[in-house]
Structure 1
């Protein structure tokens, strides 16, 4: 069994500690805010309003409970490996590897889904530009910016996040005069509620919050992680819940849910329906909406690169992926290898499948993280915990149960994607057991 402090001792001193709580809030919201602009609406293609609404509520409760427990882990174990580091401490190297694979799947497959929608929004503004070319172009530009250094990266992320929030406020203000409860169906009979549809919509409810845990992967670059991570994380979760609930209810109150169910640019469509396709408000919003997608794509590139870097340092991945640029202190190879995988997924994957696969990786990681939370609480009661999750163990039990519900639901919603992902996990784990470097 690995001694708990060995992971800490392996952390590289090369990463710059430049981030504060405001930067972390920007990263937390920025990682996720694209979920308000697209992706979540696909839930209405497999479920009615109330089934999907119930899924969103359940997932919001899960993320509140999970975030409080995860913050304790992130503050007490500030490591860029995030969930992989926690599982390594609690479950040994195999547990760390499995958790690392799952969170890597989440963070590697989310960017191409976001890039796809980014291309769709850009094509909406400029129809003469192919959405595929726009997707690849934005992805490439943001990879290059990520190579400039974490301080510049965090500042840019904060700027685009604030701009994206302003865009959502503009959207909500624009639809408010047209809001009517007549678009929201009444529940005339409880028996009409479809649990099958509810389970199938959960992956898209997760998209409202997916990757917020990426804040933990910047932990080694935070000035005072024990104080700043809880502040930034709590503020980020609160902001995201407010935005998700407002966009969900607001959109359902102005259009038929089926009209926006399959679009990569649902909010722009709503505004063009309300104000006309050539209206200034629709075009201004769509332009601002690009910032929301840029914020998430940019932030997740930061997250996956730090994760690959940490997994390399733990010898879960090849050592060259942990090399830092001597000038910018950025894990260049980690940024680039993740981009290659992302470009390949963007070329062959569908947006809904990429969202499902990313959500599946996240749910698996959530369950393992909660198991690690319980183990570390029991095994290391004296470990310094500058922040402790409240209502232990009730809150943690709720997070674990809802995490399992989410995991089963994502598998149920798309068994083929689950088979491919878990098949990859099985092959990778076998390779790790046969040829992985041992301590």
Structure 2
């Protein structure tokens, strides 16, 4: 089996975790305000933060014990068997493949505010091709680009918080705080998940990380803390300036994918030099997540091919760059088709369903492996075991069911996709053993 090159440093790995999720702080989360208001989305963020705290500390143990590019697919396959490994891999693929098109829409919305005449869909298509090519060229170049992009994005969001928080008015946080009751708060949960979705991609880079047993836990902890602090400050700063409605709805009544520029415009106007600077820097946050998820999805699909859950050509590496070129090209094609659908909110929800399935199966795998393989080398142990994995397991399951009840059509579409793919997998289970 061809091996991936180990060239990712600890700082690059932190950038990978933060970068993959960072788009959720620049857009998408504001859609939860339309459903839950400030109180509903705020409560959802508290619950989701607890989910990700317990999940990341538990997932770090698995990633250190089994440092494979497949992430949860490799863990579930070892703990629960080949069929559950397939389900975990499919869920991971849904998350990583359908999130980038949603981010591409947000990139288009940001560019539209800056230059209304730009052909947005064409730019999004070009971005897919460009960043797929960059990932094929080599992981070190791709990871270095992710580090630079993430650093700029983090700095821009810190500056936004510094600028917006002095203009905070508490009445803006309490006015119409729960517009649709507690049902609206439940409906806001997937958009709170969106603020952290993708941080688990750190595990998919394990095979390319220098000294993964020591680096992975530190990267998980640092990435979660970065996202949690910035999510809280961004939520308060953006909604406290002029109320949540002004960062959800445009003047024509349509829903916005650019809440940060809209909040900045209320503070300093659209012609202020700092607005222009932060506006451009905000694009780095979206591009960072877009690029990072493409990077992670290639590794996930590569392992899908290695495990023979998909055609074996996906397991082949580029002979010169040692990157999963075939997997990246396939993911690019699927992403372009999803992008053509034009449904940002639905793509976010599909990604969230996939992520929550991943979290649930990962925690079951952790609990099973502790019993099944007690002697498995574990360089990092989950704190407060078994409470943390059980909390993450129960919260991910409850969150999945809550979102399913509030978004039935898309939820059943996701379940149908998983069921049909599993039936096809079972009928082809007699194929050759994993590579």
TM over 0.5: yes
Please say if residues 201 and 413 of structure 1, whose CA atoms lie closer than 8 Å, have aligned partners that are also in contact: no
Partners of 1:306 and 1:113 in 2: how far apart? 20
In the superposition, relative to structure 1, how do residues 238 and 136 fare at CA in structure 2: closer, same or farther (>3 Å)? Answer: same
- The equivalent residue for 2:102 is 113
Do structure 1's residue 288 and structure 2's residue 281 form an aligned pair? yes
> 2:165–2:236: 8 Å Cα contact kept in structure 1?
no
Residue 214 of structure 2 corresponds to: 227
TM-score by length of 2: 0.95
User: Is the counterpart of residue 88 in structure 1 residue 77 in structure 2?
Assistant: yes
Secondary structure, in 3 states, of the residue corresponding to 1:330? coil
Does residue 401 of structure 1 match 2:409?
Answer: no
Q: Alignment partner for residue 140 of structure 2, among 151, 160, 165? A: 151
Secondary structure of 1:40 counterpart:
coil
What aligned pairs does 1:9-408 form with structure 2 within 5 A after superposition?
12-185=1-174, 194-261=181-248, 262-408=255-401
Asked if 1 retains the 8 angstrom alpha-carbon contact of 2:70 and 2:204, the reply is: yes
SS of the equivalent of 1:298 reads helix
Partners of 2:402 and 2:124 lie apart in 1 by 29
CA displacement at 1:336 relative to structure 2: 0.7
Moved more, 247-256 or 205-214: 247-256
Write the distance in 2 (CA, Å) between the matches of 1:118 and 1:142: 14
Deviation of 1:194 after TM superposition, in Å, equals: 2.7
Change (3 A) 1:204 1:141: same
Q: 1:193 to 1:378 in 2, by over 3 A?
A: farther
Q: How far apart, in 2, do the equivalents of 1:241 and 1:280 lie?
A: 29
Pairwise CA distance, 1:263: 1.0
Hey, what's the Cα distance between the residues in 1 that align with 2:109 and 2:121? Answer: 8
Structure 1 unaligned regions, length at least 5 = 1-11
Residues 228 and 79 of structure 1: CA distance in aligned 2, closer, same or farther (over 3 Å): same
* Per-residue deviation, 1:273: 2.1
Structure 1 SS opposite 2:328: helix
Is the Cα–Cα contact under 8 Å of residues 28 and 236 in structure 1 kept in the other structure? yes
Cα separation, 1, equivalents of 2:119 and 2:261: 18
- Per-residue CA deviation, residues 162-220 of structure 1 (Å, 9 max, x unaligned), is 000011012112212311212111799x9x98321121101000000001101111110
Runs of 5+ consecutive residues of structure 2 not aligned to the other structure: 249-254
For 2:239 and 2:37, the matched residues in 1 are separated by: 11
Name the structure 1 match of 2:251: none
Cα separation, 1, equivalents of 2:222 and 2:156: 19
Q: Distance in 1 between matches of 2:205 and 2:168?
A: 40
Cα distance in 2 for residues equivalent to 1:18 and 1:169: 29
Tell whether the 8 Å contact from 1:103 to 1:362 is kept in structure 2 after alignment.
Answer: yes
Across the aligned residues of Structure 1 and Structure 2, the Cα RMSD in angstroms comes to 1.5
